[in-house]
Chains A and B, each alone.
Chain A
Amino acid sequence: MHERTQAYLRGRFGDHYRNQSIDPPPGANEREWGYVPWTEGPGETYSRHNAMIDLGALEDFLARERPKHVYFSAGRYDNPGATTMNEKGWRRSGLIFDLDADHLPSTTPEDSYAEMLADCKDALFRLLDFLERDFGFEEMQIVFSGSRGYHVHVRDEGIQRLDSDARREIVDYVRGIGLEFDELVEEETVAGLGRKTPAENRYLPTEGGWGGRIHDKLVSVLSEVRDLPEEEALERLQEYDGIGEGRAQAAYNLTQERFVEIERGNLSAHAVFAQLARQFATEVVAEENAQIDEPVSTDTNRLIRLPGSLHGGSGLAVRRVPREEIDDFDPLVDAVPETFTNHEITVEVTDGGTVELGGDSFTLEEGVHTVPEYVGVFLMTRGRAEKGEE
């Protein structure tokens, strides 16, 4: 990055911070702060172990330093400015989830930026389903990361003091790691009439947890099967592993005659039902798990990007997204900082291509162009352009 480009970006980041009010996270004084200044050369300098008291008021600091990236710690400490974790004296830590397009199996390097972000939003919805329905978390902040994904900050009191091992359990839960079908199943003794020994019935939980998710899928697939003409239903059922004509018939009969047992999750109703449930478990985990970046959530000392700051690798804003607005949120429009929307600038594109931003698509070849400032800033921060002469 040329000196002129860097000076320009730093100046404009400063303009942005002067006009922007940023809400610091709760307990800002107890957190470690980190930032990356604009520096020449390829490497980045990471200034860590800063306490708020050393940086001064957050907005003043941002306007003065105009950093390329800004972070604060999920953890809160007795001495946030100390350089070792022992001296810091850990008190508590929020729980952070990081969804990054790079970690999603559904994305490929050929996908456009917009496609990757759309995949990420799907994963975000899956994650929120766990956090809201299963974990019942109430204090959550959802943030567009400014680059390739989303962060969720959970601040409920109940998780604040959990250690890394306990947080690993939460990670494994949303990832579906370590799920054992037989452990999900509950046994219930039925003392039937005329029975000498009581029988054990095996039930899949119908609500809550992974058991409930698997049950939902069973009910939805098997109710479709129930409503199909018999021949088609049998064919459909035989698509599953290990289901031949006989078992398909048994499953079909179950849907016709005793659908209530399916709704109850009674795996003992017929062997084929238990067999299907077991197969569905694997599918449901694959489809519904949320592929978070695991080490972020288990690390109680992690630094995370400050909401409201600018991402120095995209020029986009790290933007809070209210829960009800996620659906409509388009990061490539809504995270474009207002500071960069009012005029055009000249850039020299060194690595051309298509940029989708601000609701428009720009295809730029190498050379000098006049573009909306946010497009120029995006290209420069990504190292695909240098500042041209005005």
Chain B
Amino acid sequence: MKPLHARYPFLQSAREAVEAADVDLVTVVREEEAVRTRALDRVETALDSGRVGAPHRRDRVELLSYPVARVLVSLIDEHVLTRKYARAEAATAHERFEAEFTETTELKSRDREQLSIRTLLAEFGMTEGVRETDDAYSVAVGTYLAYATEERGDEWRLVNRTLRDGEIELSESELLVLIRQAIRDRVDEGLPLSVPDAIASHLDAECEQIRERLADLDLTRDIDTVVPDLFPPCMTALLDQVQKGEHLEHHSRFAIATFLTTIGMTTDEIVELFQVNPGFGEEATRYQVDHIRGKTSPTEYSPPACSTMQSYGDCVNKDDLCEQISHPLAYYEAKLDDADEEEIIDWRERDETAQS
């Protein structure tokens, strides 16, 4: 196992090195505390700082901690964790190779195997879509879009790029951002893994620690609990209409979608919920929800206030609590506060129990 693999454990060659070394993951998680600890560190640091932390001094531990970290993430299987973890692995790798590329020749250690842009492009099948020019790179529009769409910021929007004959000129540092996204996709690929019990059973303590860390995270912005019984009457009415398959005006659809997004439902969950309604095409719903979420637009939308709901005729079945609040979210928060912990059964968890 080479230092290069420890630094960039997502590389195909790193995976092959692990396979060639005939490492048994069950034995590793059972017997190698250092690997378990470093794997936990990767995941926790991802949650705390969006990076995966300082490498372990032993290459073997560092390299093996990567597959174990992916196992941990799979065992928790929370969308927010998976996303943050993949992002953190990519961010750390990006910082490492960016530093390597800008080091002056004298500083480069002679015996360390270096990663080149060319190698990275080949790794992710991007060679064909990227052409080196005098002082920059010409990137095929398909390659650009496959990796740039997730980037925030107007400068990444295709409309603001000089697109000519199917190519876009990128600086080296911009190209490295695309590679960072390719790494993110690679880390994310296949997650959650299905983890055999023989492995899972040795990671209970680590999983517990991550769950606690997740629970501690300040999620004040999200209410993140979906309990329809506590929804304000306006949202209950809209949800009812959606599920009966009735046609909803754009403003009504916007209201219910932003509300569900804000309380923590994922796009997939909302799409699934809306799918019973033939009036909502899956792609269109997905696009709208992603847009509201701020994924495809610079703005994250919040649900309309009571006054807006009233002017659109979406304010119905007002009750006593409605008189005291001015925003549907405030209604829901107040209800959540009032309810006993035990009474709150997240809809999604309830569904899972019903299915299993």
Contact = CB atoms under 8 A, between A and B. Distances in A.
Nearest to B298: A178
A307 interface: no
B158 A169 contact: yes
B217 interface: no
Interface residues on A, range: 35 or more
Closest 8 CB pairs of A and B: A136-B166, A158-B142, A208-B164, A183-B160, A166-B145, A209-B162, A136-B165, A169-B158
Contacts of A159: 142, 145
Interface stretch (A34-42, A99-107, A145-153, A298-306): A298-306
A210 interface: yes
Nearest to A156: B142
Nearest to A179: B159
Interface stretch (B99-107, B283-291, B325-333): B283-291
A114 interface: no
B287 A205 contact: no
Nearest to A285: B159
20 contacts: A133-B164, A135-B141, A136-B164, A136-B167, A137-B166, A158-B141, A158-B166, A159-B142, A163-B149, A164-B287, A165-B296, A172-B159, A176-B159, A179-B160, A208-B164, A209-B161, A209-B162, A209-B164, A212-B164, A302-B283
A184 B160 contact: yes
Nearest to B161: A209
B2 interface: no
A168 interface: yes
Nearest to B295: A165
A162 B159 contact: no
B157 A209 contact: no
B159 A134 contact: no
Nearest to A160: B142
A300 B286 CA distance: 12
Interface of B: 129, 140-143, 145-146, 148-150, 154-155, 157-167, 281-284, 286-287, 290, 295-296
Nearest to A289: B159
Contact of A169 (B145, B167, B282): B145
Contacts of A168: 149, 287, 296
A376 B326 CA distance: 60
Counting chain A CB atoms within 10 Å of each CB, the highest count among B140, B143, B282, B287 belongs to B287
B164 A180 contact: no
B146 A162 contact: yes
B146 A135 contact: no
A178 B149 contact: no
Given A158-B142, A165-B295, A295 B158 contact: no
A168 B150 CA distance: 12
B283 A301 contact: yes
Given A134-B165, A136-B141, A159-B142, 6 more contacts: A134-B164, A164-B283, A169-B145, A172-B158, A180-B157, A212-B164
